[in-house]
Amino acid sequence: MNRSLVALTLLCVAPLAACEKNAVQDITGPLAASRIKFFNFGVSAPGVNFYANATKLTAITSGTGTESTGGVAYGGTGNGGLYSAIASGQYTLTGRIADTTGGFKDRPVDTLSAAIADGKSYSFYLSGVYNTTTKLVDAFIVEDPVPVQLNYAVAYVRFVNAISNANPMTLYVKNTDTTVTKDSIAVGGEVAYKGAGAFTAVPNGVYNLITRYTGSNTSVITRASVSFVGSRVYTIGARGDITVPTGTAAPALDNTANR
């Protein structure tokens, strides 16, 4: 955890430093108490860099040492899935096109106003389906209320729904171990688009993931063999276009560790 915080410190300081190549960075100040994680779940959205107001909080370094123009691609998370430190306050959160071609470099694909509370953690999502004409996509933010007291015998899992054309869904997890009870565990309750369920205790193990609409036993989205490790905290995020059966845009379940 300490190593992750060191990495976050470096990530957050860099955007605030002067633009001069040889400028001295001051890293002696206290680390901001709030945290934010970024997801590009906007179907067909371009690769983006994420910003809080005018401050860039995610970027990808290429093999040449310069910033990649690829940005965070669809299905990806900023900063390798780590949280970025951020001070409390009111922000405009945007994903901005990373590609330098076409004249759209740094154009925001969303504009979301959000209040960041001191000491809290959040996840920000580009979501829905990208409009190639307006070059806009949906966005939302949810709080990540990670449990304070963790039990090493269980993992903590919650479900976030980033599919704009899906009905509200419930996530179920089913242990793949044939020696244990095979009943599925409901991870929280029904979650609508742009919603997040509660973190639910799930025993250590390897699970098959299934989402279902309320009142139906038919699987909507599935993912096999996902490991949940005791004392770890996970978010399962649904992304994609519910009308597309196969390919990149097809519905999928993402598994990202919060802790």
Tokens 């093999």: give the residue.
63
List Cα–Cα distances, 68 to 48, 99, 124, 259, in angstroms: 10, 8, 21, 27
Q: Which domains does the chain carry? A: 2-143 (no CATH), 154-257 (2.60.40)
- The sheet with strand 112-116 has its strands ordered as 55-56, 48-52, 89-97, 112-116
Q: Each residue's pLDDT tens digit in the chain (259 positions)?
A: 444 443 444 444 444 433 444 444 455 567 799 999 999 999 999 999 999 999 999 988 767 777 788 899 999 999 999 999 999 999 999 999 999 888 899 999 999 999 999 999 999 999 999 999 999 999 999 999 999 889 999 999 999 999 999 999 999 999 998 887 667 899 999 999 999 999 999 999 999 999 999 999 999 999 999 999 999 999 999 999 999 999 999 999 999 999 9
Half-sphere exposure of 100 (CA within 13 A, CB side): 3
Q: Do the bridges between strand 121-131 and strand 34-40 make them parallel or antiparallel, or are there none, so unpaired? A: parallel
Q: Supply φ then ψ for residue 10, to 5 degrees.
A: -65, -40
Q: Are 205 and 223 in contact (CB under 8 A)?
A: no
User: Of 48, 139, 40, 39, which Cα lies nearest the Cα of 93?
Assistant: 139
